Amino acid sequence: METLTAAILPATIRRRPADSHKGTYGRITLIGGNRNFGGAILMASAAAVYAGAGLVTTITDASNQGSLHARLPEAMFADITDTAMTQSLITSANVVVVGPGLGTDAAALAVLKTVFATVTAEQTLVIDGSAITLVAQHHLTLPQAHLVFTPHQMEWQRLSGIPIAEQTAARSRAAADRLHATVVVKSHRTQIYTPSATYENPLGTPAQATGGMGDTLAGMVGGFLAQFADPDQAVLAAVYAHSAIAEELAERQYVVLPHQIIDELPRFMHEHQA
Amino acid sequence: METLTAAILPATIRRRPADSHKGTYGRITLIGGNRNFGGAILMASAAAVYAGAGLVTTITDASNQGSLHARLPEAMFADITDTAMTQSLITSANVVVVGPGLGTDAAALAVLKTVFATVTAEQTLVIDGSAITLVAQHHLTLPQAHLVFTPHQMEWQRLSGIPIAEQTAARSRAAADRLHATVVVKSHRTQIYTPSATYENPLGTPAQATGGMGDTLAGMVGGFLAQFADPDQAVLAAVYAHSAIAEELAERQYVVLPHQIIDELPRFMHEHQA
Amino acid sequence: METLTAAILPATIRRRPADSHKGTYGRITLIGGNRNFGGAILMASAAAVYAGAGLVTTITDASNQGSLHARLPEAMFADITDTAMTQSLITSANVVVVGPGLGTDAAALAVLKTVFATVTAEQTLVIDGSAITLVAQHHLTLPQAHLVFTPHQMEWQRLSGIPIAEQTAARSRAAADRLHATVVVKSHRTQIYTPSATYENPLGTPAQATGGMGDTLAGMVGGFLAQFADPDQAVLAAVYAHSAIAEELAERQYVVLPHQIIDELPRFMHEHQA
Amino acid sequence: METLTAAILPATIRRRPADSHKGTYGRITLIGGNRNFGGAILMASAAAVYAGAGLVTTITDASNQGSLHARLPEAMFADITDTAMTQSLITSANVVVVGPGLGTDAAALAVLKTVFATVTAEQTLVIDGSAITLVAQHHLTLPQAHLVFTPHQMEWQRLSGIPIAEQTAARSRAAADRLHATVVVKSHRTQIYTPSATYENPLGTPAQATGGMGDTLAGMVGGFLAQFADPDQAVLAAVYAHSAIAEELAERQYVVLPHQIIDELPRFMHEHQA
């Protein structure tokens, strides 16, 4: 297992070419946020926008439209019950993030099945939160796509079948290989299983132990994947940056709120670009 | 009567263990905010989040969903008319706060009765604002739980039967004992009646004399109770911190808005942790 | 005509007594904001809260509930179509502000008539914006109350019958006397007609020439009246403070937004209190 | 082709005359924002307000009312399905901006036709985003008005018929002349075709390559046109200021969010006024 270092940041965060436009930085569609968990998809979407993704669309429960735009006018909105629009917005994206605040009811399952039926092998799909639980509960067949899972340890237990106490690197490595996916197992010391290697994030602070941190990371992972060339590096850099910003804030805060990490992203990425 | 000092802060606000997660810091459910008083439960919920509670859910009128997430995406939402979900979210919490902006109509009474019927002896229940008035008006039987009341003096008169002018420490002490509860009687010099002792808060500024201060304190009390081991200390530290932050802000502000106290919490707790 | 000076500020903005509570600083009800002009009543309400009024309730179109609490959780909300609640909230207030964003349609007229029929001689009523136009258009009989009008010059023309070009101090003075009201005629150099004297505000910057400034002033006037003993001084100090803050901000801004003046109020009042 | 310099700023941004009022700085109506793209019209409207336009009204889908006022209480709202009110608000404006987030469906087309049928030769009409696409798709006859188009290169291809790769200055010049309009072709190096000359903006940073930048520019163009005497200079100064602020922010940010440019406008315009 390799330990991540700050070197992953300039290796990943390219200096933007002068002659570029928003299309250069990807088109990302985030899907989640039922009536109860709307904040989750709002945070994930904001993380994608502040990470620099070119075009961001949020597919969520209609009741979240107003709060989305009150916080984040830069994101576009679509109603999660509009299946045709959902399919269209999946198809036009290069990265799809599904799961933050999605919930696990029948409607959520139907949405997730639509996502799986629509993504193609050229696209990257980040599967987070309740979507991971749904995959495990319903033994869903995973789609042909570049898959990234971002489970916390309990979700990883559900998905991999490995009890938390037995989640050794070797067993998780094998499970990730079986999934043909990159897996980010979030914990005190997050581990990342890319297709080619295993990494541990040495950073992270208990000030981060609060609701919404995972949703924010999922959005950052999506935002980095949307714009940076190497997908493995994109995931690693997002994980590292998320914790590094939290550690900076924790030098003066007892708890770090997810939206505060998001607010720091443009400055942090500027300071750590190539 | 003991006078609180700043020593209560490091005695209570533990340095967070490195190997912890959001579950370590408690799960808190806040219930209140009818159509008229939605701001009250928004402030209480934000105080709980910014105090560092691990997972925060706000049960409120459906009309408050959008403003909740526009201000506080970190909180989860539930519709106060959904009794089954309310019961479930009470059961899964370690701390429940009921009352901020709840109102005193029949629907509010029904919600409060649901809360009382659902909490168990292992849980902590903070009863604030209109919920205190409802208890007094309807002579409700209090549930078996760790009870904390946070009345202002008029609410304390309603609950204890002691007229404001006659609220001596001795009489309030006796009334708190009869309630088998910790009681925070908010005033110019707030008094706290824990099961074992009586305290006075020496801090507090008239710049705090504005609507929403009590809601904010209730949320802070809940947030401290959710994560700190000693419940008496948690209440005392929350009361002290609330006034201490207000005094800091009042050095440069004529009036201190409740949300400004909330915004300062992460920094203040960092500076005053063990 | 007297020219206002900064002396009006410490003469009015008392140092708050230590032993006080939110009731000490007044209860203010603001009424306005139809579906189109909701922002106006939001700004007026925020100005009242940030000026330090003890308890603030906003009666407005139901569609403005969410944005009110997203910006200002400290204010309570009531539905402007609920006449019984409107009457109750007028009766319980010491200051009522009516007009910001109220509009001039039949529903607005009905609301204004309810206000006029409910206020009593002991209460202060600030009549602003569309409410002034309604009074003029419908020749409404003014209620027995401490009346303050805050027209811009065109509204003053409508109310007083004096064309803008002919609004000399003498003619305005006579018109204010006929109204038995304090009148604030807003312009480049605002003039204030109290029952006993006439004042000119020497401050004011063209950076203030933007929508919402008058709504903000009306809320400040209400907030000052709610908490300061001398009503004439309260109006004068509010007018002066509004322009003084704008001038400060205009030293570094081409245009000053109303909400920016509101944000500065607590600091400004701290610096200029007795 | 002339290259813009910072000299365009003081040449355009006049020092405001002391004796002025909000009417002096124009009345602007912005039309756009369907249910999906509400953020676009919110950003355009905020840009107009923060640029200093005197009175700003936003005509948009009803579902955007709350988020508009949560972000921008200074703007008035109208429901885009209310044709009579739309016509009235077009007629009372000196500048109309149509297109940000309008969409391209039948309802959007109907709105655009209403705009074209209502504006007069004395008014300025800024046509942006989806409105440009609608003009091209439906071969709409342009109204008699001072027209400003703000297409990105693909929209310019649709409108002018010139493929992106062939958009030379000469061909674009000719197309702009045929339209009898000022055309701002947004790209890495934006070009501006006024009736009398052609300009290139030397500024611009890839940090701006994110969704919402164009909507923000359209609002700034409208806000400058509403208050500055020379319409050609107003457009040029808005384009230059938009990029200049972005370059300033990009010195410390990897990506610059549109709302951040808006927030800087009052300060930037103060520093660069005559």
Distance from CA of B18 to the nearest CA of D (A): 31
Say if CB D4 and CB D240 are below 8 A apart: yes
Candidates D25, D77, D269; nearest CB to C210: D25
pLDDT of residue A262: 98
Candidates A77, A267, A273; nearest CB to D38: A77
pLDDT of residue B55: 97
Distance from CA of C80 to the nearest CA of B (A): 12
d(CA B147, CA B126): 6
Which residues of D line the annotated binding site for (6S)-NADPHX? Answer: 40, 101, 152, 215
Q: Is A110 helix (H, G, I), strand (E, B) or coil?
A: helix
Q: Does B66 touch chain D (CB under 8 A)?
A: yes
Distance from CA of B189 to the nearest CA of C (A): 9
| pLDDT tens column, D49-90 | 999 999 999 999 999 999 999 999 999 999 999 999 999 999
Give me the mean pLDDT over the D182-200 stretch.
Answer: 96
Per-residue confidence at A22, pLDDT binned at 50, 70, 90?
confident
Q: Considering just the CA atoms, what is the radius of gyration of chain B in Å?
A: 17
Say if CB B128 and CB B100 are below 8 A apart: yes
| DSSP single-letter state for residue A16 | P
Q: Does D66 touch chain B (CB under 8 A)?
A: yes
pLDDT of residue C252: 98
Q: Which residues of A touch D64 (CB under 8 A)?
A: 66, 69
Q: Is C125 helix (H, G, I), strand (E, B) or coil?
A: strand
Give me the mean pLDDT over the C75-79 stretch.
Answer: 98
Distance from CA of C207 to the nearest CA of A (A): 26
On whether C187 is known to bind a ligand per the annotation, the reply is: yes
Say if CB B239 and CB B213 are below 8 A apart: no
d(CA B57, CA B76): 4
Per-residue confidence at D48, pLDDT binned at 50, 70, 90?
very high
d(CA A155, CA D92): 58
H or E element: which one contains B170? helix B169-179
- Cite the DSSP H helix spans in C81-212: 83-91, 106-118, 130-137, 153-160, 169-179
- Cβ distance of D206 and A16 shorter than 8 Å: yes
Say if CB B201 and CB B191 are below 8 A apart: yes
Q: How many CB pairs under 8 A join C and D?
A: 115
Q: With the C-alpha atoms ordered B145, B51, A38, B103, is the resulting torsion angle positive or negative?
A: positive
Main-chain phi, psi angles of A75, to 5 degrees: -95, 145
Q: How many CB pairs under 8 A join A and C?
A: 4
Give me the mean pLDDT over the A134-148 stretch.
Answer: 98
- Cβ distance of C71 and D70 shorter than 8 Å: yes
Q: Which of residues 201-230 of B touch D (CB under 8 A)?
A: none
User: A67 to chain B: nearest residue by CA?
Assistant: B70
Average pLDDT, chain C: 97
Distance from CA of D111 to the nearest CA of A (A): 21
Quote the percentage of chain D above a pLDDT of 70: 100
Please list, in sequence order, all residues whose beta carbon lies within 8 angstroms of the beta carbon of residue D130, skipping any fewer than 6 positions away: D32, D37, D99, D101, D102, D103, D104, D108
pLDDT of residue A188: 86
On whether A129 is known to bind a ligand per the annotation, the reply is: no
Q: Which of residues 16-35 of B touch A (CB under 8 A)?
A: 16-22, 24-25
| Cβ atoms within 10 Å of A136's Cβ, excluding its own | 17
Q: Phi-psi bin for B3: left (phi > 0), alpha (psi -120 to 50), beta?
A: beta
The question of ipTM being above 0.95 is answered as: yes
User: D73 to chain A: nearest residue by CA?
Assistant: A70
Main-chain phi, psi angles of A208, to 5 degrees: -80, -5
Q: Which of residues 69-98 of D touch C (CB under 8 A)?
A: 69-70, 72-79
pLDDT of residue B20: 87
On whether C128 is known to bind a ligand per the annotation, the reply is: no
Distances (CA, A) of B252 to B247, C6, C75, C263, C268: 9, 19, 23, 13, 9
pLDDT of residue A46: 98
Sheet containing strand D191-193, edge to edge, reads D2-3, D198-200, D191-193, D181-185, D146-150, D124-128, D95-98, D27-31, D55-60, D76-79
Per-residue confidence at A11, pLDDT binned at 50, 70, 90?
very high
Average pLDDT, chain D: 97
Quote the percentage of chain C above a pLDDT of 90: 97
Q: What is the pTM of this model?
A: 0.98
Q: Does B163 touch chain C (CB under 8 A)?
A: no
Q: Does B104 touch chain C (CB under 8 A)?
A: no
pLDDT of residue C188: 87
3-state secondary structure chain D: CEECCCCHHHHHCCCCCCCCCHHHHCEEEEECCCCCCHHHHHHHHHHHHHHCCCEEEEEECHHHHHHHHHHCCCCEEEECCCHHHHHHHHHCCCEEEECCCCCCCHHHHHHHHHHHHHCCCCCEEEEECHHHHHHHHHCCCCCCCEEEEECEHHHHHHHHCCCHHHCCHHHHHHHHHHHCEEEEEECCCCEEECCCCEEECCCCCHHHCCCCHHHHHHHHHHHHHHHCCCHHHHHHHHHHHHHHHHHHHHCCCCCCCHHHHHHHHHHHHHHCCC
On whether C190 is known to bind a ligand per the annotation, the reply is: yes
Say if CB C9 and CB C177 are below 8 A apart: no
Count of positions (residues) in chain C: 274
Average pLDDT, chain B: 97
Main-chain phi, psi angles of C55, to 5 degrees: -135, 125
Q: Which residues of C touch A66 (CB under 8 A)?
A: 66
- Cβ distance of B209 and C24 shorter than 8 Å: yes
| pLDDT tens column, C88-100 | 999 999 999 999 9
Q: Does B63 touch chain D (CB under 8 A)?
A: no
CB neighbour class for B53 (10 Å; exposed up to 12, middle 13-18, buried from 19): buried
Strand pairing category for A2-3 and D55-60 = unpaired
| pLDDT tens column, C228-272 | 999 999 999 999 999 999 999 999 999 999 999 999 999 999 999
Candidates C66, C211, C250; nearest CB to D56: C211
Candidates B21, B24, B69; nearest CB to A38: B69
CA dihedral B52, B57, B60, B62 (to 10 degrees): 120
| pLDDT tens column, D4-13 | 999 999 999 9
Sheet containing strand B181-185, edge to edge, reads B2-3, B198-200, B191-193, B181-185, B146-150, B124-128, B95-98, B27-31, B55-60, B76-79
Q: Does D105 touch chain A (CB under 8 A)?
A: no
The dotted CATH code for A16-269 is 3.40.1190.20
pLDDT of residue A190: 97
On whether C33 is known to bind a ligand per the annotation, the reply is: no
Chains that touch D (3 or more CB pairs under 8 A): A, B, C
Q: Does C48 touch chain D (CB under 8 A)?
A: no
Q: How many CB pairs under 8 A join B and C?
A: 115
| pLDDT tens column, A202-257 | 999 999 999 999 999 999 999 999 999 999 999 999 999 999 999 999 999 999 99
Q: Is A167 helix (H, G, I), strand (E, B) or coil?
A: coil
Please list, in sequence order, all residues whose beta carbon lies within 8 angstroms of the beta carbon of residue C198, skipping any fewer than 6 positions away: C1, C2, C169, C172, C173, C191, C192
pLDDT of residue D20: 87
| DSSP single-letter state for residue A171 | H
Per-residue confidence at A19, pLDDT binned at 50, 70, 90?
confident
* Residue B27: pLDDT over 90: yes
| DSSP single-letter state for residue B32 | -
Question: Residues of C216-230 as b/e, b for ≥16 C-beta within 10 angstroms?
Answer: bbbbbbbbbbbbbee
Per-residue confidence at D19, pLDDT binned at 50, 70, 90?
confident
* Residue A112: pLDDT over 90: yes
Say if CB D11 and CB D184 are below 8 A apart: no
d(CA D222, CA D148): 9
| pLDDT tens column, C35-71 | 999 999 999 999 999 999 999 999 999 999 999 999 9
Give me the mean pLDDT over the D90-107 stretch.
Answer: 98
pLDDT of residue B203: 97
pLDDT of residue D239: 98
Distance from CA of A239 to the nearest CA of D (A): 17
pLDDT of residue B188: 87
Give me the mean pLDDT over the A7-23 stretch.
Answer: 93
* Residue C20: pLDDT over 90: no
Quote the percentage of chain D above a pLDDT of 90: 97
- Cβ distance of A74 and D211 shorter than 8 Å: yes
- End-to-end CA distance of chain C: give it in Å, rounded: 25
Q: What is the DSSP string of C5-56?
A: -TTHHHHHSPPPPSS--GGGG-EEEEE---SS-HHHHHHHHHHHHHHT-SEE
Say if CB D209 and CB A19 are below 8 A apart: no
Count of positions (residues) in chain D: 274
d(CA C141, CA A252): 60
Average pLDDT, chain A: 97
d(CA B80, CA B76): 13
- Cβ distance of B188 and C20 shorter than 8 Å: yes
* Residue D188: pLDDT over 90: no
On whether B230 is known to bind a ligand per the annotation, the reply is: no
Q: Taking Cα atoms as reference points, which of D178, D274, D179, D185 lies closest to residue D235? A: D185
Per DSSP, what are the bridge partners of residue C56? C28
Candidates D13, D17, D75; nearest CB to C254: D13
- Could you state, in order of their start, the residue ranges of all structural domains in chain B? 16-269
| DSSP single-letter state for residue A198 | E
pLDDT of residue A106: 98
User: A63 to chain C: nearest residue by CA?
Assistant: C66
